Amino acid sequence: MQPRTIGWLILLVQPWLLTAFAHKIVHVSVNTTKRLGALTAINRFFGCDEPNFAYYPDGHALLSELGSLGPAQTYFRTHNLLTTGNGSTVGVPALKWGSTNAYTEDADGNPVYNWTIVDRIFDSYLSASVKPYEKWEELVYQWTKHSVEKYGQAEVESWYWEVWNWNGTRAEFLALHDHAIAGVRRALPTARVGGCEVAGGAAEGYLAAFLDHSLRGQNHATGAAGTPLDFVSFHAKGAPLWINTTGTDGYVQMNLSTQLRQIDDAFGVVAGYPELREIPIIMGEFDPDGCAACQTPQYGYRNGLLYPSYTVATFVRALDLADRRGVNLQGG
């Protein structure tokens, strides 16, 4: 049945192409006898900067749509889940930002944990079938413990736990990461933990330094060698340009190679560790650009067919690159 399905697709599409783009006829050949193996469902990871829209009507509707994609489990990665807000802005959606007030302190500097908004966010995720230093470690521990109590051990074991990419120093991030993972594992020893969500693929040695630390470095929280690592994650971004030369209408040039180069560089780093050849890799941020809130002309691709076309093209090539490097790509 597969060859017949492909044939009908070509027959249905070609007349429209001939009408709309008569000067650009594209011939597509499909070898349906060549088998490459099972297709990994990497198109099941989504995310956003702003967490609070999850419990607003439009946000919940979008989550429900994502959760119904199937057949593989859909995951959702969100920033600012433990961000403390400011006055009337607590829990109010904002462009690229949000807050939950999960952590505040009383007048004596003692922690005050409040999971009300975090619970609303995760209730929205799960109802839509999508997954989501000492004081810091204790905060993460308390949240993990609360999650297990509220949603059950089996559910929380299916989540991916990591620290959002950090804009401070590398040493600061490793300490932040180690204490976070220690907090998670103290509450749930079987939790799935990893990282490091570094921006830019290999990021000029950052990813390798993180892997070295995870495998053999001194853990900042426990003092032992290494930090638990169940998956590796990183960001890969494209770099679209607005081309507007004299006498032309202008157009967007997507520069797919920029993103693919970052992906291949990261795969190459992971492949350099024989003990990590089978570790799942998640491209936690996988975007045609690195400026989610920008609205200049080169980002107009989001409003048409160029966006999904680009995404398909990069997914296919990312799978090819993973196969060439011999690594285990699981999502993007």
**Contact (Cβ atoms closer than 8 angstroms) between residue 46 and residue 130:** yes
DSSP state of 317: H
pLDDT for the residue numbered 23: 64
Nearest to 211 by CA among 281, 259, 263: 281
Length of the chain, please? 332
**Residue ranges per structural domain of the chain:** 1-35, 45-131
Please, which pLDDT band fits residue 315 given cuts at 50, 70 and 90?
Answer: very high
pLDDT for the residue numbered 175: 92
pLDDT for the residue numbered 143: 94
Q: Is the pLDDT at 186 greater than 80, yes or no? A: yes
pLDDT for the residue numbered 282: 94
Handedness of CA 303, 314, 287, 191 (dihedral sign): positive
Region 98-116 average pLDDT: 90
pLDDT for the residue numbered 16: 37
pLDDT for the residue numbered 6: 32
- Greater model confidence, 4 or 157: 157
Across the strands, what pairs with 218?
225
Q: Is the pLDDT at 170 greater than 70, yes or no? A: yes
- Greater model confidence, 34 or 313: 313
Q: Which two tokens stand for residue 31?
A: 């070898």
Amino acid at 232: V
Q: How far apart are CA 330 and CA 138, in angstroms?
A: 31
Query: What DSSP string describes 257-310?
Result: HHHHHHHHHHHHHHHT-GGGTTSEEEEEEEES-S-TT--SGGGGGGGSTHHHHH
Q: How far apart are CA 258 and CA 240, in angstroms?
A: 9
Please, which pLDDT band fits residue 243 given cuts at 50, 70 and 90?
Answer: confident
Region 305-319 average pLDDT: 92
Handedness of CA 152, 193, 64, 293 (dihedral sign): positive
pLDDT for the residue numbered 231: 96
Q: Is the pLDDT at 2 greater than 70, yes or no? A: no
**Contact (Cβ atoms closer than 8 angstroms) between residue 112 and residue 93:** no
pLDDT for the residue numbered 12: 35
**Contact (Cβ atoms closer than 8 angstroms) between residue 331 and residue 282:** yes
